[in-house]
Amino acid sequence: MSGLSNFYRSAVGKKALMAVSGIVLFGFVLVHMLGNLKLYQGPEKLNAYAEWLREVGSPVLPHSGLLWIARFVLLAAVGIHILAATQLTLRNWQARPQKYKQREVLEATYASRTMRWGGVIIGLYVIYHLAHLTWGRPWVHSDFIPGDVYHNVVSGFQIWWVSGIYIVAQVALGFHLYHGLWSMFQSLGWWNSSNPQDWRRRFAQVFAWIITLGNLSFPLAVLTGLVK
């Protein structure tokens, strides 16, 4: 136990846990995006998929059992990720009490410089998103029908500023994923070269684009009337 608490006390250990929890969240956003593509197959398919998520694993597990396990794992990952990020950020902010009058940014990407506030935006968005399409709170979704996922998504996104919130959040997530996925290799000690075109950067670019474009397509498809 003391080994584990020492490990967590170190910044290198915290970063490793951020990387592992980040992989869990990355896996989630990838599968979540792929699942949502059923929007393009119409109401029956999408609603059946949502129902399947609740039934998968039964009868071994109770109804919604696997879903709750997944939710628990995700909640733990979010908790670890945010806790470590906050602690590291506070520590790093103390490392230079006297700021430079002038400091150029040389290699640091836009994505790397927006991890902290980008993370906060994503966190707030996740709460909004759950209230909007999972819990269907009337103060965020005035036309929510439990179980009719297709209807809830389409009627939600038809309001332009709701789609706007989703679009901004997906762009923020795309940047976060780009730097996060690349960082994860570094934090876990996987390298082959620091050439900017190496496979770690490629991997991060490809998956950040796939997830961002996939997620952006949903509000855009509704706004343009492609999906109604």
Q: Catalog residues that contact other proteins under the rule CB under 8 A.
A: 3, 6-7, 10-16, 88, 91-92, 94-108, 112-113, 115, 179, 182-183, 185-191, 193-194
- Report the SS3 class of residue 74: helix
Instruction: For ligand HEM, give the closer residue by CB, 180 or 219.
Output: 180
φ, ψ (nearest 5 deg) of residue 114: -115, 15
Shortest distance (Å) from residue 161 CB to other proteins: 33
In the block, which residue shows the tokens 């836009």?
A: 110
Judged by beta carbon distances under 5 to 8 A according to partner kind, the member of other proteins, ligand HEM, none in contact with residue 97 is: other proteins
Is the Cβ–Cβ distance between 175 and 118 less than 8 Å? yes
Instruction: For other proteins, give the closer residue by CB, 41 or 89.
Output: 89
**Residue spans of alpha helices (H) in the chain:** 2-9, 11-36, 43-55, 65-93, 110-113, 115-129, 149-157, 160-187, 199-223
Amino acid identity of 53?
L
Instruction: For ligand HEM, give the closer residue by CB, 155 or 183.
Output: 183
Shortest distance (Å) from residue 116 CB to other proteins: 9
The helix or strand, by DSSP H or E, that contains position 189, with its residue range, turns out to be: none
What does the binding site for ligand HEM look like in residue numbers (CB under 6 A)? 15, 18-19, 22, 25-26, 29, 81-82, 85, 112, 115-116, 119-120, 122-123, 176-177, 179-181, 183-184, 187
